[in-house]
Amino acid sequence: MRKQTGLSQEALKVIACLTMLLDHIGAVLVPGWTLRIIGRMAFPIYCFLLAEGVHYTRDPKRYALRLAIGAALSEIPFDLALFGGLTWQHQSVMVTMLLGLGALEAMKRLDRSRIPAVLLCYLAAEWLRTDYGGPGVLLIVLFGLTRDLPRRGLYLLAGMTLLILALMPGARVSFFGTGLRIPIELYALLALIPISLYSGWKATRGKAVQLAFYLFYPAHLWVLYCIASALG
């Protein structure tokens, strides 16, 4: 395939993984908000990549199976690293992604019942208390709905702003050292920068790269948990 300008799919995945890693280092090992602010970029990029994957996949059932396996592998290290022990009170972002895939497939396949199906996925995320919950599912749907619209950036900016407002009960942090304190999730809007540079080019179709992308989430949580345990 001819190389295109802009970020490849793999480059966007690397940015997502690195920002997520920094976010979790900030949550588990390093006090303060700097790494957590950088980490706000990760989730929107993952949502964007999921919407792209659902659009191009020839086998949504296999795609869902990969996410389900990833969710199963991630739940224990997610609990241990971020909550200090096993708990049913929180579910990992992989479950949010799986429900988002279900919502996107409902939008593609259903007609009159598509809105109830999306609402069901939203409510399931809220009931299961997944990372980012129902608004996270809606953000995935937003990326799917706006994929082919003109002036996509404006639609994404407006939609993401509205969805992020739903997450406002979270922490508020100082805005670049000023006295203004804003919801930390608003920094997720920075993800629009690398997303806008995405070229749609896929640099490799190797299964090893795809597998590494799925395994990175549970693997890095295990590593962080082991480091935190060693440090007491």
* pLDDT, position 1: 41
Q: Confidence band (pLDDT; 50, 70, 90) for 29?
A: very high
CB of 23 closer than 8 Å to CB of 29: no
| Residue whose tokens read 């996410």 | 67
How many other C-beta atoms can be found within 10 angstroms of the C-beta atom of residue 59? Answer: 9
Of residues 95 and 206, the one with the higher pLDDT is 95
Q: Which tens digits make up the pLDDT trace of 187-200?
A: 888 898 899 889 88
- Please state the rounded mean pLDDT for residues 81-94: 93
> Is the confidence at residue 66, as pLDDT, over 90?
yes
The domain limits of the chain are 9-230
* pLDDT, position 110: 82
Q: State whether residue 182 is helix, strand or coil.
A: strand
Q: Which tens digits make up the pLDDT trace of 125-146?
A: 999 999 989 989 999 998 898 8
* pLDDT, position 156: 74
> Is the confidence at residue 3, as pLDDT, over 70?
no
CB of 126 closer than 8 Å to CB of 165: no
Measured at the CA of 130, the angle between CA 211 and CA 79, to 5 degrees, comes to 70
Query: What pTM was computed for the model?
Result: 0.90
* pLDDT, position 113: 81
* pLDDT, position 176: 66
* pLDDT, position 146: 86
- Please state the rounded mean pLDDT for residues 194-214: 83
Q: Confidence band (pLDDT; 50, 70, 90) for 2?
A: very low
